C-alpha cells in the first residue's frame, strides 16, 4: 500500500482501488474504568459517563487532567454521572443527555447543555449523534427522576460506533445496522445490572459490530467476570473483544 495523489490506494495487479481516508485513520479511545471512556472525533474530545473519583480502581486518574469538548451521559445513575459536574465546570464541555438529566445538571450550575431523547438525531462538531433505546432504569443521585436510559450511535466521516449504555439485550439492537455500518461497539459485559458477556456477543451480532470494547465490569463485586471466558465467547463468535486497562489509550 502506498499513497497516490494523497489518497490511500491498494494495488492489485492492474487495478487500483482507492480507499476512504477516514476508514484508514485510527480513532483514539481512552478507558478510564467502569463505563467511562473518551474518544477523539474530528478534533474534538468526547467523554462518556464520567465515574472516576468514587471508583477505587481508577484512583490514579486525576479528573482535573481530563479534557473534554463534549460529555455524553447515557442515564442518571451515580456510576455514570459522579464526575459530570466537576469535569463540565473544569472544561466548559457541552453536556448532552436526556432532559431530566439536564435538569439535574442545571440545578448544579451547568449551563452549557443540550437535551436529547430516544430516536433523536443531531449533528455536532464531532459527528452525528443518534439516541437509541437502552433497557435499564435511571434515577439521579439525589433520588429524582432520571428519565429513560439511552444508548448512542455516533457517525463521523465514514466511521461509526455504538455505545450501548447500561442495557439488557434487546431486539431494538437489530435496528442499528439500518442507521450505521459499525466499525466497533462499546458494550456492557458485567452481568447482574446489565447484560453479561454472553448476551453482549449476541448484541454485537445484531448490531453488526465486528469488534467490541467491553465496559461496566469488575468495578463492584456483583459485576466481576472471568475475562478469559469472556474472550473465549467472543472468539468463538468471530468477534474481537478488547479490554483496555484503566488509563490506557488504544487506536480503533
Low-confidence ranges of the chain (pLDDT < 70): 1-25
Name the residue with cell 468463538: 236
Structural domains of the chain, count: 1
Residue 21 is assigned to a structural domain of this protein: no
Cβ-contact 73, 49 below 8 angstroms: yes
On whether the pTM is more than 0.85, the answer is: yes
Q: Is residue 127, in this structure, part of any structural domain at all?
A: yes
pLDDT at position 7 is 36
CB atoms within 10 A of CB 61: 19
Task: Give domain status of residue 64, yes or no.
Answer: yes
86: three-class secondary structure by DSSP: helix
In a domain, 230, yes or no: yes
Instruction: Give domain status of residue 7, yes or no.
Output: no
In a domain, 113, yes or no: yes
How high is the pLDDT of residue 11? 36
Instruction: Compute the distance between CA of residue 77 and CA of residue 175 in angstroms, rounded to an integer.
Output: 26
Q: What is the CATH number of the domain that holds 85?
A: 3.60.15.10
Residue 14 lies in a domain: no
Judge whether 197 and 164 are in contact, CB under 8 Å. no
Considering the domain boundaries, does residue 6 fall inside one?
no
Mean of all residue pLDDT scores within the chain: 91
Residue ranges making up the domain that contains 108? 27-251
Q: Which H or E run includes 185?
A: strand 184-188
pLDDT at position 10 is: 39
* Closest C-alpha to 96, from 80, 81, 113, 84: 113
Amino acid at each position: 500500500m502506498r499513497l497516490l495523489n494523497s489518497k490511500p490506494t491498494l494495488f492489485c495487479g492492474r487495478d487500483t482501488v482507492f480507499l476512504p481516508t477516514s476508514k484508514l485513520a485510527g480513532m483514539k479511545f481512552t478507558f478510564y474504568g467502569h463505563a467511562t471512556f473518551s474518544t477523539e472525533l474530528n478534533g474534538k474530545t468526547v467523554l462518556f459517563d464520567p465515574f472516576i473519583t468514587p471508583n477505587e480502581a481508577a484512583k490514579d486518574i486525576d479528573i482535573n487532567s481530563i479534557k473534554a469538548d463534549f460529555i455524553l451521559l447515557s442515564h442518571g445513575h451515580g456510576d455514570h454521572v459522579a464526575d459530570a459536574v466537576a469535569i463540565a465546570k473544569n472544561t466548559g464541555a457541552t453536556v448532552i443527555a436526556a432532559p431530566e438529566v439536564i435538569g439535574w445538571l442545571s440545578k448544579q450550575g451547568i449551563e452549557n447543555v443540550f437535551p436529547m431523547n430516544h430516536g433523536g438525531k443531531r449533528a455536532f462538531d464531532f459527528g452525528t449523534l443518534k439516541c437509541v433505546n437502552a433497557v435499564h432504569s435511571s434515577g439521579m443521585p439525589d433520588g429524582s427522576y432520571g428519565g429513560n436510559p439511552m444508548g448512542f450511535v455516533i457517525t463521523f466521516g465514514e466511521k461509526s460506533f455504538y455505545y450501548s449504555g447500561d442495557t439488557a439485550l434487546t431486539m431494538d439492537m437489530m435496528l442499528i445496522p439500518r442507521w450505521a455500518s459499525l466499525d466497533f461497539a462499546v458494550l456492557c459485559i458485567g452481568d447482574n445490572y446489565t447484560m453479561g458477556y454472553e448476551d453482549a456477543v449476541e448484541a454485537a451480532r445484531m448490531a453488526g459490530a465486528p469488534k467490541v470494547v467491553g465496559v461496566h465490569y469488575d468495578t463492584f463485586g456483583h459485576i466481576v467476570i472471568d475475562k478469559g471466558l469472556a474472550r473465549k465467547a467472543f472468539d468463538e463468535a468471530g468477534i474481537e473483544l478488547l479490554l483496555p486497562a484503566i488509563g490506557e489509550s488504544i487506536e480503533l
